[in-house]
Chain A
Amino acid sequence: MEAIWLYQFRLIVIGDSTVGKSCLIRRFTEGRFAQISDPTVGVDFFSRLVEIEPGKRIKLQIWDTAGQERFRSITRAYYRNSVGGLLLFDITNRRSFQNVHEWLEETKVHVQPYQIVFVLVGHKCDLDTQRQVTRHEAEKLAAAYGMKYIETSARDAINVEKAFTDLTRDIYELVKRGDISIQEGWEGVKSGFVPNVVHSSEEVVKSDRRCLC
């Protein structure tokens, strides 16, 4: 397979302002952009390829709207043009956990008419001694909304890769099953192939399906 990537998924990272969204993104993408250089250079800092199976790569575009939160109509367009999202709370900050519901409600309206696959992320799990939210209750909440739950730490690089790749796999499955499809005017999922090859490439994907456990 010659293509660099099969699909491009656009993801958002949301949650209260101090939960460590930027740190998580940076930790995940830092392999490629170790050096922080001039941000005004037109580079997508927050994109990375993820290999979900040998030879099958997905390009992730992670949107960091840091600083623009107040421009409501713009951040909402970001929501709608994303296929997946990491909904973060800080395990040492109960308030950020209570706001998870609010964040889900907020996005629900704005992603219309599309859907968005969320994973609930309990961040800063290295600070276990200051924990204010138990793993059990977080798992319960996640299950109630049909999300997976994972605990991460950007500082100690715990589960950061896993959080993104698990979400990517889940979305990939939905795309393969046709539950999510590429649509004109929607940035959430884009194909890495020219349109007339999309079909054949998907067949290749399907024939390989047995490899997935």
Chain B
Amino acid sequence: MYSSMAPFSKTTLDINKLYVSSNYPNKIPDEGEAALEKQEESLPGKQGSEVSVREESDTDPNHSDEAEAETSPTKSPTTPKSVKCKNSSDFSLFSYNNGVVMPSCRELDSTRSALSAASAFAIATAGANEGTPTKEKYRRMSLASAGFPTDQRNGDKEFVIRRAATNRVLNVLRHWVSKHSQDFETNEELKFRVIGFLEEVIHDPELLTQERKAAANIIRTLTQEDPGDNQITLEEVVQMAEGVKAEPFENHSALEIAEQLTLLDHLVFKKIPYEEFFGQGWMKLEKNERTPYIMKNTKHFNDVSNLIASEIIRNEEINARVSAIEKWVAVADICRCLHNYNAVLEITSSLNRSAIFRLKKTWLKVSKQTKALIDKLQKLVSSEGRFKNLREALKNCDPPCVPYLGMYLTDLAFIEEGTPNYTEDGLVNFSKMRMISHIIREIRQFQQTSYKIEHQPKVTHYLLDQSFVMDEETLYEASLRIEPKLPS
């Protein structure tokens, strides 16, 4: 029996595909799906509950691509589509035959009155709670559709639905727990309730071995001690830096500065929870309450930018300013190699500030090579063509990486303001939601891979030290003092 089902067992049960295929009966890729699709069609109360899913599938030709990307967020966005195959262990929670073949091995008690919360939920999600067709009716439906030899056709429809539903619920939970662990780290109650729910599921005597294993796996993921990467936290860096004596710019090599700046930038960047990207909270009056981590990110950017400008301006002597500029440009170029595009912008935008940009005498002494390098770096992070070059670089880079957050914030602002939440027919505007999720997913990909850079407190202390940093006005005044305006 198993050997006859072999082709089916390769087909993983992908709920989304199920509904897509029910809409496109002529495009069914294989027999397995065809059989299931017919069953789906015959489900009572099915159609109405799936409208939204179908809406999405209808309008999105890239649907399966996105689903794939969803399952492999640790991969770089640059990974060619063809390489991005589904990880079989990721998807094969249940193979197709669990739902179709196994019924013959089991008896299902359809008269059970006291369903456990877990299985009631499972059945409810599958839309089978609307009306209670008789066992005979189920049997007829599956007889008509399954296409198995008569003696194997005692498959009970409710059983099939329950397998599919359990599968779906477990898949949702597995995805949630593995891809959005933040939610559970910050919400103990949610964590314990999910564990409680899964424990109840496990104790359901009707559960298949594979389902039980899958549920246990989710619980294991949830209860794992320190799911993190043992990375140093921003708080630790700040704390350690406090205990060290600040050393001046000259005492650190460009490489050390680039590495430690990258470590800092990424620590600040990765802390932003994805909820902060919804609804443009960072542009609202209550931005500090709604999007504290985006605010910390921009503050960090501005602080570093001010530090760089101050480091240049504080030198009364022209040659010292020139060498400060050249060293920061060297830092920027190393940051580019480290895929820290955020720092490339921190540095190039600092050099572009009026206080620095206007220093004609200083710029005359800056070497040609440095100027050419600045040009190259500026082109890379230019906002031209909606950050065309930066997007290209991000697409082609493997994490770890620190992207420039401002680019994503502009994208989100553009989408939020340029497109309605609902279509003219009053349906959720899925293409808008998909664009938003696409951007957030890209951000998360870059957040998830940390740098393996050893923390050097003496350097981070320098980078975090704001004691000599000047504000905008002071910078400009100092700039006028060291190179007075020429009478024009």
Contacts and interface: CB of A to CB of B under 8 A. Distances in A.
Interface of A: 17, 22-23, 26, 36, 38-45, 63-74, 76-78, 80, 109-113
Contacts of A43: 385-386
A186 B458 CA distance: 38
A43 to B, nearest CB: 6
A51 B383 CA distance: 26
A36 B298 contact: no
B189 interface: no
- For the residues of A in contact with B, the DSSP-based class is loop
5 shortest A-B CB distances, which residue pairs? A42-B388, A67-B409, A67-B413, A70-B298, A36-B418
Contacts, number: 111
A43 B435 CA distance: 16
B386 A66 contact: no
Interface string B335-346: 000000000011
Given A36-B418, A109-B354, A73 B349 contact: yes
A45 B410 CA distance: 12
Contacts of B411: 39-40, 67
25 contacts: A26-B417, A26-B418, A36-B415, A40-B386, A42-B391, A45-B386, A45-B414, A67-B280, A67-B282, A67-B283, A67-B411, A67-B414, A70-B282, A70-B302, A71-B301, A71-B406, A72-B472, A73-B301, A73-B306, A74-B406, A76-B352, A76-B354, A109-B354, A112-B358, A113-B358
Nearest to B435: A38
Given A66-B410, A66-B414, A42 B349 contact: no
Interface string B407-438: 10111111101110000000000000001001
A69 B387 CA distance: 16
A69 B283 contact: yes
B274 interface: no
B305 interface: yes
B84 interface: no
B384 A77 contact: no
B207 interface: no
Given A39-B411, A66-B413, 18 more contacts: A17-B283, A26-B417, A36-B415, A38-B438, A42-B386, A64-B410, A66-B414, A72-B305, A72-B472, A73-B301, A73-B302, A73-B305, A73-B306, A73-B309, A73-B353, A76-B349, A80-B352, A110-B354
B197 interface: no
